[in-house]
Homo-oligomer: A and B are copies of this chain.
Amino acid sequence: MRAPYGLNILDNCLTCPVRGEHLFCNLSAQAGQRLNEIKSTAVYPKGAMLFIEGQQPRGVFVLCTGKAKLSTSSREGKTIITKISESGDVLGLNAVISNRPYEVTAEMMEPGQANFVPRDSLMHLLKEYPEVAVRIAQQLSRNYYTAYEEIRTLGLAASPSEKFAKLLLSWSTKSSGDDGSSQVKMTLTHEEIAEIIGTTRETVSRLFSEFKKKQLMQLKGATLVIRSRIALEKIVQS
């Protein structure tokens, strides 16, 4: 891997970027200090694999900048994307805690930086500092809820349209706030969207046309304009 990729290396991106809601935020001075000693920072190019499904867990990654997609594949090559991770997310925690193989593959979707905490060190830390253990438990249960949402989507949603609407809504919530419409930068290909909602590329293509025609959304370059959240919610209705 080549080095810079036009990024500055942040000296410590464990410090809480947003509102201190991350796994390793607001720890006691001691625990924070120890964490700083055991972590290491690296920069990854687009397409880099942080870890691959089935590998023994080496440690956890805390995303500082860039996005990563988490995916699983079946033997026949069908792939589902289970999550698009963003800055602040902790990757590989489940595998590390239960010492089972990584259950997903984590691939950088754009160049970015991440902290790495080796498994052994983390396990030590967590046995030494109860606060860390509690924090990790909470993070795990949050992960679980995300997974559960996924199960609900895959298991209960009837049609691709429904799942697509749900996806659009999940995007717009992040950057909403105003009247009824909101804007999101679209960075995913139709193929990838298909892998998220469990359908085919062609169907996603048709869904885009359909939703545009129905005035539910609109595309300005790479910017997705969501017209009416209410109408989308009516489609979801699950």
- The residues of A with any CB-CB pair to B shorter than 8 Å are 72-76, 78, 80, 82, 93-95, 97-98, 100, 103-104, 126-127, 130, 133-134, 136-138, 140-145, 147-148, 150-152, 154-158, 198, 237-238
Contacts of A198 in B (CB 8 A): 155
Residues of B within 8 A of A82 (CB): 151, 155
Residue of B nearest to A128 (CB): B130
| Closest partner residue, chain B, to A140 (CB atom) | B140
B100, A145: Cβ atoms under 8 Å? Answer: yes
Q: List the B side residues contacting A94 at CB < 8 Å.
A: 141, 144-145, 148
Tell me whether A147 and B137 are in contact in the complex, defined as CB-CB below 8 angstroms, given that A98-B142, A130-B130, A238-B74 are known contacts: no
Q: Nearest-CB distance from A130 to chain B (Å)?
A: 4
Q: Is the CB of B238 within 8 A of A137?
A: no
Q: Is the interface of A mostly helix, strand, loop or mixed?
A: helix
Looking at the complex, which one of B72, B144, B157 makes contact with A152 (CB distance below 8 Å)?
A: B72
Residues of B contacting A138 in the complex (Cβ-Cβ under 8 angstroms): 97-98
Q: How distant is the Cα of A44 from the Cα of B196 in the complex, in angstroms?
A: 40
* CB neighbours of A104 from chain B (8 A): 148
Task: Name A162's closest neighbour in chain B (CB-CB).
Answer: B74
With A94-B148, A136-B137 known, 6 other A-B pairs at CB within 8 A are A80-B151, A97-B137, A98-B138, A98-B145, A130-B133, A133-B137
Q: Which residues of B contact A155 (CB under 8 A)?
A: 72, 80, 82, 150, 154, 198
Query: In the assembly, what is the distance between CA of A104 and CA of B140, in Å?
Result: 17
CA distance A169 to B185 in the complex (A): 44
Q: CB within 8 A of A98: which of B126, B136, B141, B158?
A: B141
| Nearest-CB residue, chain B, relative to A154 | B154
Residues in B neighbouring A140, C-beta threshold 8 A: 97, 137, 140-141, 144
Q: Give chain B nearest CB distance to A102 CB in angstroms.
A: 11
Which residue of chain B has its CB nearest to the CB of A196?
Answer: B155
Give complex CA distance A151, B133 in Å.
Answer: 27
Q: Taking each of A95, A126, A154, A198, which has the highest tally of chain B beta carbons within 10 Å of its own beta carbon?
A: A154
What is the distance, in angstroms, from A227's C-beta to the closest C-beta of chain B? 23
